[in-house]
A and B are shown apart, each in its own frame.
Chain A
Amino acid sequence: MIELDNVAYSYGGGELLSELSLQLAPGSFHFLTGPSGTGKTTLLKLCYGALRPTAGHARLFGTDVRNMDRDAVALSRRRIGVVHQDCQFLDHLSLAENVALPLTVAGEAISGQDQNLRELLGWVGLTSRANARPPELSGGERQRAALARAVISSPEVVLADEPTGNVDWEMSQRLLRLLIELNRMGVTVLIATHDLQLIRAAKSQVPARVLRIVNRRLQSAGVDL
């Protein structure tokens, strides 16, 4: 599905990631952890083709990103939902329109009254905020809206970068439950977080593999988690 094979990534003359291999199998659940600045976001970007490895191979659904032009990467992103910590929206559109954006760019006309959209907004608890503009949303609402946007086109993989970074513990638990629910529906999930408490909470609910970036390389986390 998504595969990093002996990948390295250098930036500004320094190597940020090195000899890194990762396979996201269908239906798997992964946590990626490590201190800030170790390259978690970079690794996620390598996983959805926003960055290209400086060495090794990154394959999205079987195709090496080196052989993919920007449009091919864009099309592969329709199969990958991405949630960022600083989730960005189009401020001139309503929350419902923002959530529906992946379908809009794929050429699927969808209205704010669409049943699937209403159900999705209900799933993330944002039905009453459907017509709100992004600047009017709280941090938790933005994170849930970003998650809804990431999954509206039924992606095979969801990549979440510090999805609970800007929200309180209760909201973190709520987002985690939504991600676990997605995984139970067969969606592959990779969450980058430095929140060990969140990882511990998840491990009691889902068989998750925990990975850690140490000295530019990826390792399986120990039992201390």
Chain B
Amino acid sequence: MRVLACIKRVPITGGRIVLAEDARAINTQHLAFTMSPHEECGVEEAARLIEAHKGDSVVLTLGPPEATEQLRDAMALGIDRAIHLQTDGQEWDGEATAAALTDAIRADEAASGRFDIIFLGNESADSGGFQVGARVAYALGRPLVTGLKKVTLDGSSVRCEQEVEGGRDVYVVPLPAVLTVKEGLNLPRYPSVPGRMRARSKPVAVSTPARPAPHLELVRLAVPAGQGRRAESLGAGAAAAPAVVEMLQKAGVV
């Protein structure tokens, strides 16, 4: 079978987000980067499917040259090869991102055959547009199921569990399908040293699509005002226990 995982490179924010001078991006000078958490689970699931069923696994991203790191991370988890749609670091809106991914998927499928499953994150950690998966699925004319916490292959269809209030809704859709996943789908493995070594020599196909004018156009970012919480110290160490219990009593929970 053939499986694709789409990922996005995002900064690992610490306790406080600091903006760049023009307020159009996060100041990432002192930040490390990762792939968006939901997508890491998509990569893990793709690697597991290919381990179990054999075939070809591919990871695809639209991002700056540095996103090669995240593609190598995905390949260290077991993905066979990568496609990198390189940008100059400017943000692409959801429509433009989906169009570029769709073009790349069509080109790869024309050369190597149809993907049985395409994984994307339910939403990216940073821009949170909640739409790239839906656009890719619609453009390809394939069924889409979103927000998945469990995926089970069953012959030529796939059983999907979506987390909802009070349990999980179940969908069964035929392959090929597009699935957007959430963290918790699986526990991604920690890449092994041999895995990392192998990832270095796996192929990365690079192209540089042109960025269309965004229809959802970022003007500026702002850090929201705090929630006005002002920490009151109840003390230090075990000696603070009576003060804590009094607070809990006042709150009506003891």
Q: Do A and B come from one complex?
A: no
Binding site for A on B (CB under 8 A): none
Q: Which residues of A contact B (CB under 8 A)?
A: none
